[in-house]
Structure 1
């Protein structure tokens, strides 16, 4: 009896395309790049906000960037927030800027001479004066975001629709996951408020400069864009004096208080002394001649 037999396939073996059998690519990680961007924004944001208030020290602290689905990031908490869509070309949403509504009422209160402390529940609607502040705030942060991007990468961002309910905004249609970084902002001793910038992956890659094929950029100095033209508020303290409470409480118009200008006038940026100088005059205007700066002194 012949035990030999031949095994033949009934049909042609399946041929899977390379896209199906290739290893699955991991999700790009833009965390390090977005962290750097958020920290840069935290450095210059106080100068932007100083245009809304006077003589109030403003600080900003960057949070850790996150990645998740749109609902989780934009509707992750029940905070009273204003969301506005930003786009590069006026088409699809590229960013969503979220700002605590309490920030608007704080800035509004300070504009009318208050201390910025907002107690209790916020009003349901923002008054017209507050709407103006919110619009200026949105425009300023959008311009700052474009300025911090790689040179020429982002034109002026267009401000689109605004909603208090993130679900009604219907942001980022077609995007499964988006990226976000947050900022905690505090004015004086008032409670801090929060802003967040959420973006689609293409914008996260652009801002984080995380493309594997992109060359590393050289370090940016103070004379390079976008920092070269950012205005910084300096404070020169000409007089630092003490006055008894009894004398201070009795002050009235016409009183004369003897003062003396310090020989070495400190020049401060953000509450930190960066230089010293002496008072002089240039073209009939009071001027400050720098005698030491950044640990370098002149005789």
Structure 2
């Protein structure tokens, strides 16, 4: 019997995660009222790029960060899927609503050891609860992640994220019931070629409902508001640009032999019609009639080139 080759190790967390959500039967509410979640997935990809700047200083090396596909679950199912180990549940105030940052306890203790100059090793026997120093580390992580999170949401909506109190037990979280629908966004954090750790950013569906219109839109980015003062200053500057304006009364021609024989006092006859061209640079502005104004030679405009095609 020939042994089959083992599959290469996978970086993605080995657990089944639903990619689509059934609409539900009669009498059941839909878990996801937003339809496809492409906009939120795009937002998560933006956040993943920002997480590199958060974890590289903490892990002291280059970090690979990515966003995994979203999942929509009930809170009770999400809790049941998580390993029965120490977990940090950190509420993130989302204006007047709440999201959750969920961190594996082992990852938190590794970061804590690095922060105090260690090698980044977690205890062999994991404690049953977080120490005050570990809770402070979780709060610090929340504050650091809130910065790129706010920037990632900026094209979609202006949202302010605030850090709550870390809980080691999910049952202590306020305003979350087992039947509440959640949108789970998962991020992989891998220093160098090491095995990745995962953090979850969990949005209750109720917290996203105020942004439902933006989440179901096809365009994430929005145009920046026009600066009226800048527009006015630009217009004034453009209006003050100076152009040379000239009129060509006549362009007589003569043979080279006669041109070479010209002497001071010779007269070159010219003739021109009633209207003469008026030029701005090399472009024709229009035509005008030669005359005088206040004792000075002048040209009265009779037509503009830019309007000739409109007036006929």
TM range (shorter): 0.5 to 0.7
Unaligned runs of 5+ residues in structure 1 are 1-23, 221-299
Deviation, structure 1 residue 32: 1.6
2:39 aligns with: 33
Does 1:43 find its partner at 2:46?
Answer: no
Deviations 1:192-246 (A, max 9, x none): 22211111225446389333xx4734589xxxxxxxxxxxxxxxxxxxxxxxxxx
* SS state at 1:73 partner: helix
Q: Distance in 1 between matches of 2:99 and 2:72?
A: 14
**What residue is the counterpart of 1:194 in the other structure?**
198
- Structure 1 Cα separation of the partners of residues 183 and 49 of structure 2: 21
67-76 or 95-104: bigger deviation: 67-76
Give the greater-gyration-radius structure (CA): 2
* 1:148 alignment partner in structure 2: 152
Distance in 2 (CA, whole Å) between partners of 1:41 and 1:166 is: 25
Over 3 Å counting, the alpha-carbon distance change for 1:181 and 1:163 in structure 2 is same
Q: Is 1:162 aligned with 2:166? A: yes
Distance in 2 of aligned mates of 1:135 and 1:188: 25
Residue aligning to 1:225 = none
- Which structure has greater helix proportion? 2
C-alpha contact (below 8 Å) 2:65/2:188 kept by paired residues: yes
Q: 1:66 aligns with which of 68, 71, 86?
A: 71
Distance 1:96 1:120 in 2: 27
Could you tell me which residue of structure 2 aligns to residue 123 of structure 1?
Answer: 127
3-state SS, counterpart of residue 65 of structure 2: strand
Structure 2: distance between partners of 1:215 and 1:36 = 11
Distance 1:119 1:168 in 2: 25
Partner SS, residue 52 of structure 2: helix
Would the aligned equivalents of 1:99 and 1:195 in 2 still touch at CA under 8 Å?
Answer: yes
Would the aligned equivalents of 1:162 and 1:169 in 2 still touch at CA under 8 Å? no
User: Secondary structure at the residue paired with 1:94?
Assistant: strand
Q: TM-score, normalised by structure 1?
A: 0.55
Aligned residues: 194
- Is 1:136 the counterpart of 2:140? The answer is yes
TM superposition shift of 1:173: 5.2
The separation in 2 between residues aligned to 1:107 and 1:36, in whole angstroms, is 28
**Can you give the 5+ residue segments of structure 2 that lack an aligned partner in the other structure?**
1-28, 224-312
Q: Which moved more, 1:152-161 or 1:177-186?
A: 152-161
Deviation at 1:137, TM superposition (A): 0.2
Any conservation in 2 of the 1:116–1:190 contact (CA below 8 Å)? no
Conservation of the 8 A alpha-carbon contact between 1:61 and 1:183:
yes
**TM-score for the superposition, normalised by structure 2:** 0.53
Aligned-residue CA RMSD in angstroms? Answer: 3.3
